């Protein structure tokens, strides 16, 4: 005990946590907002009642207080205790007094329960009943399981105009017990509270029943109770008289049923009374003669029964009232403004219109006639829904009902909520015309299908576009690879031709000359030296050509956009001491790679001859394009020569013949003008159409 008190004191704080000594003081602190300081309490008193599961009422000379046990122990009414504890916050915004420990000091007789008549509650000071054990009687008009706290069941008792909520531990009553209590008159004993302090907060009267033994059934709901006073034929304009009465009975024939728990009764004296049943009670069928008991209730026009139950019933002779033909517009308007024809309440009528919707959750469909729509209740004959299709034209018979608010003290003027036609059987429907081909539902379905089709087309187009793009990329890659392959083949072919023309022929000539020189040496001929000299020139020419081929393989001259720059870089490999000027004004884009390579080789050969054989000091390379003619030239100031008598391949000179072969392959014309001592001027002319890529 000491340890618990020390822990409580540590939790509260010694400075800000007062210790309370009386029940009244503890109750006052418990009703304060939770933001106020915590408190501890030490009380002595007598247990007056045990409140469901974990709470009890302790009373001392100052008053009574509600205390909560936290360790699962129980106390009994009459126990004299000393209790110690502290405050804990609860969900309603204040603090509950929770017992940490208690000591039993002795036993005393518990105070007897106070008999209370529910009908006197409105004139009783109920604050004086709080925390008192009371005993009262009433009719159980509702019984249900607590959906918030599964440890409890709830009963609603009524007597006259007063209702009382009763809470009882769920372990003491089963669901079947709750159903059997519905409609029964019971006497309950428990602790009264003006407000509940648990999970569920009622704003009215609440009594806590500690167990099923405190519920005494005075009259079962299944008893024959038609001896209950009949429902008087009083004016509905006197609500004070109606709500002050107790149970009343009425007998008659059921003329309409709706909502599953409401029906219209044509009484034996010709009145129309709306009956609202208690929970879990099935309504009688149309045409049944019944005796009903319930609590009187009134609206703007009629006296009805609520929280009612059927105590006897028998099948009556089938008497069917012929419906009167009318229309929806006359029921809901007076021609110029909206108005309900309440005089049709309880009468059999027949109306026509177009079915405007499928059955709703409450078993109703809408029947439309022009600008007016009236609900048709088919809850008592759901088979009618198979015949009433949306958009069809139908003639419907049934009982007209006016739905209004009940007259309550807090309702100044009850309002008419609407009118409805309650069908009595599937035969009350006659289909006049079928639904149109184009209905809202069909149009909606068509739109949905069209949208689905469009979405499918869009998705398919996206897939096709993806396939086309992927295939296009693959084809482009294949085309690029094919082009690269063709370029490689062309380049290999060109190199093969170059090697064949520049090296293979020269090497063949060298082989012939070496053989001739060998035979001349063997025969002692003096011409052997000349043959060897020619052979040496040819080998030097082969070496030069091989160097040029290797330069062409490694150079990127064909990639340069300025062809004059390409010519200059190509001529730099000659290491010539002469002054070389280049002015080649032909765009690179106007020449194919083969033509450009041929021009570079021709210019290189002409400049090489001018430096090596003509010993030129100034060389000028020029090129231009005029219309379809491309012309370029090489002019030098060298020693010159006689073109007609120039040495050829026999003497080991292949330069001019090689140039003529290149020019011939690209479809051009080669002219050379030279004479001894006057330099050399070589001109090559090509067809521009033949060289344009």
Instruction: State pLDDT tens for residues 76-119.
Output: 999 999 999 988 887 666 778 899 999 999 999 888 999 988 87
Q: Is 245 exposed, middle or buried (0-12, 13-18, 19+ CB in 10 A)?
A: middle
* Across 380-389, average pLDDT: 81
In angstroms, rounded to a whole number, what is the distance separating the alpha carbons of residues 274 and 403? 10
| pLDDT for 352 beyond 60 | yes
| pLDDT for 502 beyond 60 | no
Q: What is the pTM of this model?
A: 0.54
pLDDT tier, 460 (very low <50, low <70, confident <90, very high otherwise): very high
| pLDDT for 500 beyond 60 | no
**Percentage of the chain surpassing pLDDT 70?**
76
| pLDDT for 231 beyond 50 | yes
* Across 304-329, average pLDDT: 83
Per DSSP, 457 falls in state H
* Across 207-211, average pLDDT: 88
Q: Is 508 exposed, middle or buried (0-12, 13-18, 19+ CB in 10 A)?
A: exposed
Q: What is the DSSP string of 232-297?
A: P---TT-HHHHHH---EEEEEEEEEEETTTEEEEEETTS-EEEEEEPTT-PPPPTTEEEEEEEEEE
Residue 189's pLDDT is what? 93
pLDDT tier, 555 (very low <50, low <70, confident <90, very high otherwise): low
Answer whether 291's CB lies under 8 Å from 259's CB.
Answer: no
Residue 441's pLDDT is what? 67
pLDDT tier, 196 (very low <50, low <70, confident <90, very high otherwise): very low
Residue 174's pLDDT is what? 84
Answer whether 583's CB lies under 8 Å from 568's CB.
Answer: no
Question: 13-27, 367-381, 407-421: which has the highest mean pLDDT?
Answer: 367-381
| pLDDT for 2 beyond 50 | no
Q: What is the pLDDT of residues 66-76, one digit of tens each?
A: 898 877 788 89
* Across 467-495, average pLDDT: 76
| pLDDT for 373 beyond 70 | yes
Check residues 675 and 175 and name the one with the higher pLDDT: 675
Residue 327's pLDDT is what? 92
Q: Kindly give, in sequence order, each residue whose CB lies less than 8 Å from that of residue 288, ignoring residues fewer than 6 positions away.
A: 253, 254, 313, 314, 315, 316
| pLDDT for 216 beyond 70 | yes
Residue 514's pLDDT is what? 65
Answer whether 539's CB lies under 8 Å from 502's CB.
Answer: no
In angstroms, rounded to a whole number, what is the distance separating the alpha carbons of residues 170 and 178? 10
Q: Kindly give, in sequence order, each residue whose CB lies less than 8 Å from that of residue 470, ignoring residues fewer than 6 positions away.
A: none
Q: What is the mean pLDDT of the chain?
A: 80
Question: 397-401, 587-591, 657-661: which has the highest mean pLDDT?
Answer: 397-401
Cα dist from 233 to 274, 296, 307, 343, whole Å: 14, 11, 19, 18
Residue 82's pLDDT is what? 95
Give the bridge partners for 407, in sequence order.
none
Answer whether 69's CB lies under 8 Å from 54's CB.
Answer: yes
Q: What interhelical angle do 528-554 and 593-612 show, nearest 10?
A: 140
Q: What are phi and psi of 310, to 5 degrees?
A: -85, 125
Check residues 193 and 368 and name the one with the higher pLDDT: 368
Q: What is the DSSP string of 193-224?
A: ESS--SSS--SS-EEE--SGGGEEEEE-TTS-
Which of 634, 543, 636, 560 minimizes the C-alpha distance to 597? 560
Cα dist from 72 to 69, 100, 200, whole Å: 7, 11, 21
* Across 267-292, average pLDDT: 86
In angstroms, rounded to a whole number, what is the distance separating the alpha carbons of residues 346 and 521? 149
Check residues 509 and 329 and name the one with the higher pLDDT: 329
Residue 410's pLDDT is what? 57
Place of tokens 């009783």: 124
Residue 586's pLDDT is what? 85
| pLDDT for 417 beyond 80 | yes
In angstroms, rounded to a whole number, what is the distance separating the alpha carbons of residues 544 and 539? 9
* Across 43-53, average pLDDT: 88
Q: Which domains does the chain have, with CATH numbers?
A: 2-107 (2.40.50.200), 120-219 (2.40.50.140), 239-315 (2.40.50.140), 324-429 (2.40.50.140), 437-554 (no CATH), 558-691 (3.30.565.10)
Q: CA gyration radius for the chain?
A: 59
Counting Cα atoms < 13 Å in the Cβ hemisphere of 523 gives 10
Check residues 673 and 226 and name the one with the higher pLDDT: 673
**Percentage of the chain surpassing pLDDT 90?**
20
| pLDDT for 358 beyond 90 | no
Q: What is the pLDDT of residues 126-151, one digit of tens each?
A: 778 888 899 999 888 888 887 777 88
Q: What is the pLDDT of residues 254-269, one digit of tens each?
A: 999 988 889 999 998 8
Q: What interhelical angle do 593-612 and 440-499 show, nearest 10?
A: 20
| pLDDT for 312 beyond 50 | yes
Q: How far apart are the first and last CA of the chain?
A: 109
Residue 658's pLDDT is what? 79
Per DSSP, 333 falls in state B
Residue 188's pLDDT is what? 94
* Across 640-655, average pLDDT: 69
| pLDDT for 4 beyond 70 | no
| pLDDT for 212 beyond 50 | yes
Check residues 350 and 175 and name the one with the higher pLDDT: 350
Residue 506's pLDDT is what? 64
Residue 621's pLDDT is what? 92
* Across 497-525, average pLDDT: 61
- C-alpha of 57 from chain center: 53
In angstroms, rounded to a whole number, what is the distance separating the alpha carbons of residues 84 and 336? 76
Q: What are phi and psi of 605, to 5 degrees?
A: -70, -45
Residue 135's pLDDT is what? 93
| pLDDT for 367 beyond 50 | yes
Q: What is the pLDDT of residues 569-605, one digit of tens each?
A: 888 877 778 888 999 988 888 888 778 888 888 888 8
pLDDT tier, 522 (very low <50, low <70, confident <90, very high otherwise): low
In angstroms, rounded to a whole number, what is the distance separating the alpha carbons of residues 377 and 394? 14
Check residues 659 and 241 and name the one with the higher pLDDT: 659
Check residues 652 and 416 and name the one with the higher pLDDT: 416
| pLDDT for 1 beyond 50 | no
In angstroms, rounded to a whole number, what is the distance separating the alpha carbons of residues 403 and 340? 10
Check residues 621 and 613 and name the one with the higher pLDDT: 621
């Amino acid at each position: 005990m000491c340890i618990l008190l020390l822990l409580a004191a540590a939790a509260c704080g010694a400075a800000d946590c007062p210790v309370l000594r009386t029940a009244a003081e503890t109750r006052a602190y418990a009703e304060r907002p939770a933001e106020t300081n915590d408190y501890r309490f030490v009380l002595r008193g007598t247990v007056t009642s045990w409140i469901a599961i974990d709470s009890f009422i302790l009373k001392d000379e100052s008053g009574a207080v509600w205390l909560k046990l936290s360790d699962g122990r129980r106390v009994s009414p009459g126990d004299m205790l000393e209790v110690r504890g502290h405050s804990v916050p609860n969900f309603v915004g204040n603090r509950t007094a929770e017992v940490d420990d208690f000591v039993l000091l002795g036993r005393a007789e518990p105070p007897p329960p106070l008999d209370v008549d529910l009908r006197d509650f409105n004139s009783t000071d109920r604050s004086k009943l709080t925390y008192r054990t009371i005993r009262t009687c009433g009719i159980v008009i509702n019984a249900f399981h607590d959906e918030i706290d599964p440890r409890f069941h709830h009963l609603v008792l009524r007597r006259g105009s007063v209702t009382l909520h009763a809470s009882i531990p769920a372990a003491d009553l089963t669901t079947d017990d709750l159903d059997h209590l519905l409609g029964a008159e019971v006497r309950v004993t428990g602790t009264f509270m003006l407000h509940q302090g648990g999970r569920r907060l009622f704003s009215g009267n609440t009594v806590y029943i500690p167990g099923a033994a405190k519920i005494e059934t005075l009259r079962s709901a299944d008893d024959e109770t038609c001896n209950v006073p009949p429902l008087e034929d009083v004016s509905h304009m006197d609500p004070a008289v109606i709500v002050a009465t107790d149970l009343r009975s009425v007998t008659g024939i059921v003329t309409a049923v709706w909502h599953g728990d409401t029906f219209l009764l044509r009484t034996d004296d010709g009145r129309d009374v709306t009956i609202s049943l208690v929970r879990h009670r099935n309504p009688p069928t149309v045409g049944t003669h019944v005796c009903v008991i319930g609590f009187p209730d009134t609206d703007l026009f009629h006296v009805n029964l609520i929280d009612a139950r059927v105590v006897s019933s028998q099948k009556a002779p089938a008497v069917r009232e012929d419906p009167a033909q009318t229309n929806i517009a006359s029921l809901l308007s007076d021609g110029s403004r909206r108005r309900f024809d309440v005089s049709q309440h309880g009468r059999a009528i027949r109306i026509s219109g177009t079915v405007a919707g499928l059955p709703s959750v409450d078993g109703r469909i809408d029947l439309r006639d022009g600008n007016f729509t009236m609900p048709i209740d088919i809850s008592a004959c759901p088979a009618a829904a198979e015949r009433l299709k949306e958009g069809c034209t139908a003639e419907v018979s049934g009982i007209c009902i006016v739905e209004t608010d009940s007259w309550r003290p807090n309702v100044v003027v009850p309002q008419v909520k609407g009118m409805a036609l309650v069908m009595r059987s599937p035969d009350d429907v006659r289909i006049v015309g079928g639904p149109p081909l184009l209905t809202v539902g069909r149009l909606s379905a068509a739109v949905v299908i069209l949208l689905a089709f469009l979405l499918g087309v869009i998705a398919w187009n996206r897939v096709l576009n993806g396939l086309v793009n992927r295939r296009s990329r693959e084809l482009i890659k294949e085309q690029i690879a094919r082009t690269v392959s063709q370029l490689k083949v062309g380049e290999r072919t060109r190199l093969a031709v170059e090697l064949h023309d520049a090296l293979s022929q020269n090497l063949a000539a060298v082989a012939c000359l070496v053989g001739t020189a060998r035979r001349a040496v063997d025969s002692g001929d003096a011409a052997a030296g000349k043959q060897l000299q020619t052979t040496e020139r040819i080998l030097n020419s082969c070496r030069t050509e091989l160097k040029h081929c290797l330069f062409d393989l490694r150079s990127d001259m064909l990639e340069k956009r300025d062809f004059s720059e390409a010519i200059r870089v190509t001529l730099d490999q000659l290491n010539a001491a002469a002054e070389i000027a280049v002015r080649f004004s032909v765009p690179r884009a106007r020449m194919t790679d083969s033509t450009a390579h041929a021009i570079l080789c021709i210019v290189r050969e002409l400049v090489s001859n001018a430096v090596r054989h003509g010993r030129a000091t100034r060389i000028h390379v020029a090129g231009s394009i005029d219309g379809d003619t491309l012309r370029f030239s090489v002019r030098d100031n060298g020693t010159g020569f006689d073109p007609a008598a120039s040495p050829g391949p026999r003497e080991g000179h292949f330069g001019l013949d090689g140039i003529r072969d290149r020019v011939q392959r690209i479809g051009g014309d080669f002219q050379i003008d030279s004479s001894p001592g006057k330099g050399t001027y070589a001109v090559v002319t090509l067809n521009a159409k033949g060289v344009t890529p």
